[in-house]
Amino acid sequence: MGILEKIRSSADVKALTMEEIGELCSEIRAFLIDNISRTGGHLASNLGVVELTVALHNVFDSEKDRIVFDVGHQCYVHKLLTGRAQGFSALRQKNGLAGFPKPSESKSDAFIAGHASNSVSAALGMARARTLSGEDYGVIAVIGDGALTGGLAYEGLNNAGQSGEAMIVVLNDNGMAIGTNVGGMARSLALQRTRPAYYRLKKNYRKVMLHIPGGKYVFSFTQNIKNSLKNAIFHCSMFEEMGFRYMGPVDGHDVKRLSYMLKTAKEYNEPVLLHVVTRKGRGYEDAEKHPEKYHGVSCFDPSCGVGDEKKTSFSEVFGQALCGEAEKDGRICAVTAAMEDGTGLGSFREKYPERFFDEGIAEGHCVTMAAGMAKQGMIPVFAVYSTFLQRAYDMLLHDVAILGLHVVLAVDRAGLVGSDGETHNGVFDVGFLRQVPGMTVYCPANYAELRSMLHRAIESSGPAAVRYPRGAEGEYRDEGKTLLRRGGDITIVSYGIMINEALKTADLLEKKGISAEVVKLDVIAPLDLRQVKASAERTGRAAVMEDCCEHGSVGEAIKAELSCPVMLFNTGRGFTPQATVQEQRELCGIDAVSAAERIIEERKT
């Protein structure tokens, strides 16, 4: 790859000429398209920040300075510039390169990322730590305009602007989150993008005046007049009101200009917001035209691009089922937090646009808004990934549960999710949803049960959640059964997609002469254990298989209720690293082979 293969650090980038940097950017784009087409991953977002990331490394030292990426799916270029190109062959795979920043992977990764809107707060904390410890390093938060739909971003900006700390917030403005941005901030930034000519004139005027005799005083005088007129006639930018020195907009694909602006921002030694305008998918035509298709991709042929073929999944079935429910009841509304396509709500938006609400990356707001809708007689269904629902725990308790409001949660990506790893595994919702007073939690094992349980949740009263996994259903396709298999030696209890592993475990045990009874739970809150208790009394031993963390698990509740020995199979007390879902199950010991082996060993003792 020529220049790229020689790059190991920020120092290597600084040693390049601008002509060589241009070649480096071209090589990076070719590398990304070639490698991500073979491994899958986040493509469009990384193609859009090539020049910006190169400029950051051209001005700062990532091993010393702290570059905090928001969300972090746009960190691939940063990883390439810090000596990790060889790891891209195993990107997002078991024991391979992470798809998000990971400090344990490299000292150049300043902070963990995976959820949106936290970068400014984390960067402010680092800047304050630097000041208190008397150290000297730069602090830069790189946040996209999509992340500015999340409330935490404004909490960070509100405090960072008034802090007086030397830090830079780079606003990567491409008009997109995963899909097109929504809300007032998107409109505000669109207006800001029309002002680059004004800022060029302002900069050139300052430069000229400061280099002529008496120009400094003339510049100061005219600046005061200009500021007075502007404040009287025009409203200054929100960022300036927060206390930032606002710079931009600047072309996010001009490395030379970006480097100059970053150096200038660094010299100000105060809170600076640099507004950078980029194009998501830059350099790959189809990704530029359809950035939402190339946000997260599976393997594809770069010469043909990503196809439109969709595989049936729990998300798609949910979307279809919700459309069917909405056709019968005009009170049903769909709410999403910037995840229209990911949660299968595209068809709902097309059929019922007036009842579809995309609120941006604002899960807490979505829950509370849904509570307001429910209080006034609507039936809101909030489709959200399990890992992102974590951000709305307080709202579930305070705004929904206390009043017993009928808000329905469609909890997508519940359980282990695979290659996105620690930040995206949906293994905590079982524990916190079961804590919410009045909450009913349904766990469909297949598409048919998803349809019927969604209907039950909508027809019920009070808060309800329907949790289902990423991807497709397994081999178990029956509906409405709870006692799936009779046996006399041990009771295996499970729910949701994990019922497939439970049945496979029973098959493996049978080959070893052990008769397992399999009980499926449809609802895990409130927990009705009458059938489980009756079965365990017959078999004298029980095992609970689930893909959630140990604390707050269903297994813990069952173990507390049964008098016989109970074995727990869950993801444990830590975080499960990236791998395929099956590999993750094996790592946690909740796959059929591992479960059968452990049950056999336990019976020997």
Q: Is 394 helix (H, G, I), strand (E, B) or coil?
A: helix
Q: Which of 328, 388, 400, 341 is nearest to 361 (CA)?
A: 388
530-540: average pLDDT? 97
Mark whether 280 is an active-site residue.
Answer: yes
- Beta strands 271-277 and 167-173 are parallel
User: Which pLDDT does position 180 carry in this prediction?
Assistant: 55
Structure-model confidence comparison of residues 422 and 201, the more confident one? 422
Task: pLDDT band for 567, please (50, 70, 90 cuts).
Answer: very high
pLDDT bracket for residue 575 (50, 70, 90): very high
Predicted local confidence at residue 206, as pLDDT: 67
pLDDT reported for residue 196: 52
pLDDT tens digits for range 424-443: 999 999 999 999 999 999 99
Query: Whole-number mean pLDDT of the chain?
Result: 92
pLDDT at 6: 94
Q: Closest Cα to residue 361, out of 67, 112, 143?
A: 143
Check pLDDT > 50 for residue 337. Answer: yes
Residue 232's pLDDT band (cuts 50, 70, 90): very low
Using CB atoms within 10 A of its CB, is residue 245 exposed (0-12), middle (13-18) or buried (19+)? middle
What is the arrangement of strands in the sheet containing 566-569, beginning at the earlier edge strand?
Answer: 483-485, 516-521, 490-495, 542-545, 566-569
Token code pair at residue 366: 């979505």
Q: Which candidate, 258, 140, 243, places its Cα nearest to that of 196?
A: 258
Please say if 328 is a catalytic residue.
no
Question: Quick one: average pLDDT of 91-96?
Answer: 94
- What are the residue ranges of helices labelled H in 399-529? 429-435, 447-459, 499-511
Pick the catalytic residue from 66, 79, 130, 280. 280
Contact in structure between 487 and 539 (CB atoms under 8 Å)? yes
pLDDT for position 600: 96
How do residues 131-165 score in pLDDT, each as one tens digit?
999 999 999 999 999 999 999 999 999 999 999 99
* pLDDT at 51 exceeding the cut of 70: yes
Residue 228 has pLDDT above 60, yes or no: no
Q: What local confidence, expressed as pLDDT, does residue 182 receive?
A: 53
Output the pLDDT for position 201: 60
Count the neighbouring beta carbons within 10 Å of the beta carbon of residue 574.
Answer: 10
Residues above pLDDT 70, as percent of the chain: 90
> Residue 226 has what pLDDT?
53
pLDDT band at 235 (very low <50, low <70, confident <90, very high): very low
Catalytic residue among 363, 449, 473, 501: 363
Q: Are 104 and 134 in contact (CB under 8 A)?
A: no
The mean per-residue pLDDT over the stretch 505-509 comes to 98
Catalytic residue among 79, 279, 391, 470: 391
Q: What is the pLDDT of residue 193?
A: 44
What are the DSSP calls for 264-282, one per residue?
A: HHHHH-SEEEEEEE--TTT
Q: What is the pLDDT of residue 33?
A: 95
Instruction: Name the residue with tokens 């079965």.
Output: 535
What percentage of the chain carries pLDDT values higher than 90? Answer: 83
Reply yes or no on whether the pLDDT at 181 is more than 80.
Answer: no
Mean pLDDT in residue range 66-72: 95
Q: d(Cα 7, Cα 29) in Å, to the nearest integer?
A: 15
Q: 339-376: per-residue pLDDT in tens?
A: 999 999 999 999 999 999 999 999 999 999 999 999 99
- Is the confidence at residue 170, as pLDDT, over 70? yes
* Top-confidence range, 52-56, 286-290, 308-312: 52-56
- Please, what are the domains in the chain? 4-194+238-289 (3.40.50.970), 314-467 (3.40.50.970), 483-604 (3.40.50.920)
Average pLDDT over residues 406-417: 98
User: CA of 454: how far to CAs of 348, 430, 435, in Å?
Assistant: 15, 17, 21
